[in-house]
Amino acid sequence: MDQTIILGDCLDVLKTIEIQSIDTVITSPPYNIDIPYSSYKDRKPRDNYIQWLKDISIEIARVLKPNGSYFLNIGSTNVDPWISIDVISSLRDMFVLQNHIIWVKSISVGDDTVGHFKPINSKRFLNQNHESIFHLTLTGDVAIDRLAIGIPFKDKSNISRRNHAQDKRCAGIKPVWLLLELDRNHVQVFRKNLLLGFVLFLIWDRWHAMEIMKNTQVQ
């Protein structure tokens, strides 16, 4: 598969891309939570930040094919829990929220814990072990291959009882992404496992995908 890397401000680059030419857009922009990036100030005035992502999303809506998908990964903090909701709410006039995927970074069942997260010391807040991945489409009826990232049935009797053709079922929204944060290298995890999950459950034989990394230079 041919790949092209374009270095530039994503908003400027998007404006040069042909209308309805992209099948998939995947992006995890800065969350505006004051992370100390080397070349980007992650603390814009709130209205400016939301408008910035809205301007980018307007261009994404323009370049996206009618059956295309836009995956937007936005996190938040306990101090500012509304930021991801405020961002996605600003896009509801342009897109349909077809799936809300929960990126579970760590979970405990009994005495066992799977995954990795950044712990906090607080008398008010619980550790935040997840982020949101919003699957946006223009129509809300874009077909996906749910079984491409499916899992075997726990109760094998369900295969015949429910008339399934194989020992595989849709994993649902939350469990699908549970094991993505087993490596502390966020870049590696996001680029490999997360992107693979998106690609697998889309059903195109040929597609053009765009991953928007940042609006500033790549470090």
Contact (CB, 8 A) for 57 and 48 = no
Q: What is the pLDDT of residue 177?
A: 44
CA-based R_g, the chain, Å: 19
pTM of the model: 0.78
Q: Percent helix, strand and coil across the chain, each rounded to 5?
A: 30, 25, 50
Interval 146-168: pLDDT, tens: 777 677 888 888 888 888 888 88
Interval 166-219: pLDDT, tens: 888 877 654 344 434 444 444 444 444 555 555 545 544 444 445 554 443 333
What is the C-alpha separation between 151 and 172, in angstroms, rounded? 10
Indicate the length of the chain as a whole number.
219
Asked whether residue 123 carries a pLDDT value surpassing 80, the answer given is yes
Average pLDDT over residues 6-34: 90
Residue ranges and CATH numbers for the domains of the chain are 10-212 (3.40.50.150)
